[in-house]
Amino acid sequence: MHRVSEIGGSDVGASTAPGRDAGEGDPTSVAGDGVQATREEIAHMRDLYQFGIDEVLTKVDILRREFERSHEYSPIEHVRSRLKSVDSIIAKAHRIGCDPTVDELRASIADIAGIRITATFVSDLYWVADMLAHQPDLTIVTVKDYVAEPKPNGYRSLHLIVQVPVFLSSTTEHITVELQIRTMAMDFWASIEHKLFYKYRHDMPADLASELADAARLAATLDERMGTLRDEVRPMPVQLSDEATLSAGRESGQPMVTSRVESRTTS
């Protein structure tokens, strides 16, 4: 399992996208506008979010190890994490008009902590999400399914905001972590788009944007074609619970996130 400073890929147009802090500006100028929370307080808050990352990473790693040992197949290919810097948090608060107090920061910024899970097949994205959703101490806050409804630029990924308890010496903190779950093809496309987005300072030439959109369609086609080989590589996913009816799959036999999750989905 790898730890990195930023989750690769991007989420154009979303204010809470891991790895994209577009237009943050100079953090020192933000401080001059009257930061109410001291940098030390925000640094302490970051510690809590790192603990939240550690908790969720442990859950994902246990699932990966179980599958590798017991099933000779794991739907989880790679896992990476990132935690926003103090400057990035302050600058984003300034950009979205959030008072830079710890309470307001925690309430308003959902992607302080982020984890990206890369899976093999499209169906595995929902399989992994379903397994996490059924863990009693992990609360699904929101789901955004950019696989079913890609962004206009072609971006595809399954996004979950989850909340996990962090048990400290005298208190319990409930920390939000953003999960991005993608196939390798989705991740490759998002990585290239991310680099171009910053190279052109958020103003990508129309011809490149068109090329990227076409590449996104090819990546989706690749995922679909590879999905036809799924049964040769791994067994069909097992339904995890009868508590809720799984939504209709967009791929034959594809397990979907249960209504326990979908009831919290936002547009």
Largest pairwise CA distance in the chain: 60
Q: Is 97 exposed, middle or buried (0-12, 13-18, 19+ CB in 10 A)?
A: exposed
Give the whole-angstrom CA distance, residue 22 versus residue 70: 43
Give the whole-angstrom CA distance, residue 139 versus residue 165: 9
Catalytic residue among 6, 55, 178, 193: 178
Q: Among 125, 132, 118, which Cα is nearest to 63's?
A: 132
Specify whether 178 is catalytic: yes
Which two tokens mark 250?
Answer: 């967009």
Which two tokens mark 197?
Answer: 């987005």
Residue written as token pair 């600058």: 91
Long-range Cβ contacts of 251-255 (<8 Å, 24+ apart): 251/122, 251/123, 251/224, 251/227, 253/123, 254/122, 254/123, 254/126, 255/123, 255/126, 255/127, 255/130
Q: Among 122, 128, 120, which Cα is nearest to 148's?
A: 122
Q: Any idea what DSSP says for residue 66?
A: H
Give the whole-angstrom CA distance, residue 42 versus residue 262: 32
Q: Which residues are catalytic?
A: 178
